[in-house]
Amino acid sequence: MTHLTATGAALATCLIAALGLAGDVPAAGQTIATEARGVATEFFRSQNERRYDDTCRVLSHGFIESHKLRDRRTCAAVMRVAFVWNGQIVFRIGRVSIEGSRVIVQAVADGAPGRMVLVREGGFLRILELDGD
């Protein structure tokens, strides 16, 4: 998943260099898979629409901390600078699986496969890792 990898790598690089929404309220009876797909979709849509505050809102504290950011506000500021020339991401959300306490979402971004690792945080699923295959 070249673009998901590239997007994740670019985000990680920019975030390091600089140092949830998708239904923040899950509906009653909403399945984990439905919630996970919503988070993954919001991740891509918010980038495409340049709503970086929303993009950072779907990232877990673990993701933010691992990229040496102080908080989500800093994350959004870095993304605004890093993705100023970024084009639209064409994406497709695929299979969702559960591995222990983590939810894995398969995705394709700009033709490249990859996965998102989500964890439950404050009652909501948030992105912990972005990995390219």
The secondary element (H helix, E strand) that includes residue 121 is: strand 112-121
Instruction: Report the predicted TM-score, pTM, of the whole model to 2 decimal places.
Output: 0.77
**Comparing 22-26, 36-40, 63-67, 78-82, which segment has the lowest mean pLDDT?**
22-26
**What is the identity of the amino acid at 98?**
I
* Confidence bin at 90 (pLDDT 50/70/90): very high
Token pair listed for 108: 């394709």
> According to the model, what pLDDT value does residue 55 have?
96
List pLDDT tens digits, range 48-73: 999 999 999 999 999 999 999 999 99
Set out the domains of the chain in order of their start, with CATH numbers: 2-132 (3.10.450.50)
What radius of gyration, in Å, describes the C-alpha atoms of the chain?
A: 14
Q: Is the predicted pLDDT of residue 18 greater than 50, yes or no?
A: no
Angle at 88 between CA 59 and CA 111, to 5 degrees: 85
List pLDDT tens digits, range 44-53: 999 999 999 9
* Confidence bin at 15 (pLDDT 50/70/90): very low
> According to the model, what pLDDT value does residue 98 have?
95
φ/ψ region of 110 (left if φ > 0, alpha if ψ in -120 to 50, else beta) reads left
The secondary element (H helix, E strand) that includes residue 92 is: strand 91-99
